[in-house]
Amino acid sequence: MGKDEVILINQSGRGDKDIFTVAAALGIEITDNHINTRSLQAELTAKRDSGRKLLLPYVTAGIVGNWMDCVEAVIEAGADAVEIGIPFSDPAMDGPTIQQASVQALDNGITPHGALSELRTREFAVPLIAMTYFNLVFRYGNERFASDLAAAGCAAAILPDLPFELAGEWHEAAVAHGIENVLLAAPVSSDERLAQLVERTSGFIYTVSTMGTTGERAELDNAASVLSQRVKAISDLPVIIGFGISNPEHAVAAARASDGVIVASALMRTLLDGGSIDQVASQVNAMRVALDEAF
């Protein structure tokens, strides 16, 4: 082609859709601004108001290679939302089972960004709730973490070591990206503090069922029921009991005084002991059936 020739190209499409692909290929990281539009609180409240007891299983991201299949399996088994644990090296709030699950997942090479990127590739039928420790968010950046949670399809986050007095920046970022911030209430929380917690939490209120850290227990203590009643007296938020629910009997007992239960260590114990995702699903299903029959 010479200098006097005219060349015509058909510019057949605009490249807006490809900028992230190109940025990734060039190693550039773009913080795209994602906003979650799904309301965990609305979904849980509607289900509760229809008479259903809520069941929220927990899965440690990266505990097994196909951990997302486990998320899907517990949803099919009757979960109303799923807690996704993003593992931290020093999970002081968790008991030995979740710590072991975290170590295994970290050994498998999972990172916060990796976990959220994997979640981004699938859609789930129920809302997801990310649970992790504040240092990972602090390093990730509040804003970027909230945005990536939204992109990953998470509707809410639980950061147990970030008390609301110190949550200012995270809270702003979460609100800006439509992420609900779930707070914990403990039997030792004073009435004054409980009122503050109820005002600041969204999604639901997570009541700690024993004074201990997470973990399976033979007996479920009574403190959770008392705490749950105290919350219900001052709020219409869904009240979910966590920490120490390891079988259908526990789930039913805990749900009597509350709107539902979180089950974590008992499921992760199955995977740690070499059990299959199907076994985890049947544990969840047994709880679902027990809850539906009892109420």
Asked if 202 and 36 count as a contact pair (C-beta separation under 8 A), the reply is no
Toward other proteins, which CB reaches closer, 112 or 260?
112
- Residues 145-174 touching other proteins, rule: CB under 8 A, are 160-163, 165-166
User: Of the listed 43, 72, 80, 83, which one is catalytic?
Assistant: 83
Asked if 53 and 250 count as a contact pair (C-beta separation under 8 A), the reply is no
For other proteins, the binding residue among 208, 263, 268, 290 (CB under 8 A) is 208
Q: Quote the tokens at residue 281.
A: 């699903």
Q: Does 235 bind other proteins (CB under 8 A)?
A: no
Toward other proteins, which CB reaches closer, 55 or 208?
208
Toward other proteins, which CB reaches closer, 156 or 208?
208
Q: Which residues contact 99 (CB under 8 A, 6 or more apart)?
A: 91
Toward other proteins, which CB reaches closer, 135 or 279?
135
For other proteins, the binding residue among 35, 211, 226, 234 (CB under 8 A) is 211
Least gap, CB of 186 to other proteins (angstroms): 4
Q: Which residues contact 86 (CB under 8 A, 6 or more apart)?
A: 61, 110, 112, 115, 116, 130, 131, 132, 136
Q: Supply the DSSP string of 178-224, one letter for each residue.
A: T-EEEEEE-TT--HHHHHHHHHH--S-EEEESSSS-S---SS--SHH
User: Of the listed 94, 148, 216, 259, which one is catalytic?
Assistant: 94
Give the relative orientation of helices 265-272 and 277-294 as an angle to the nearest 10 degrees: 150
* Contact footprint for other proteins (CB under 8 A): 88-93, 95-96, 99-100, 103, 106, 111-113, 133-136, 138-140, 160-163, 165-166, 183-190, 193, 197, 208, 210-213
Catalytic residues: 83, 94
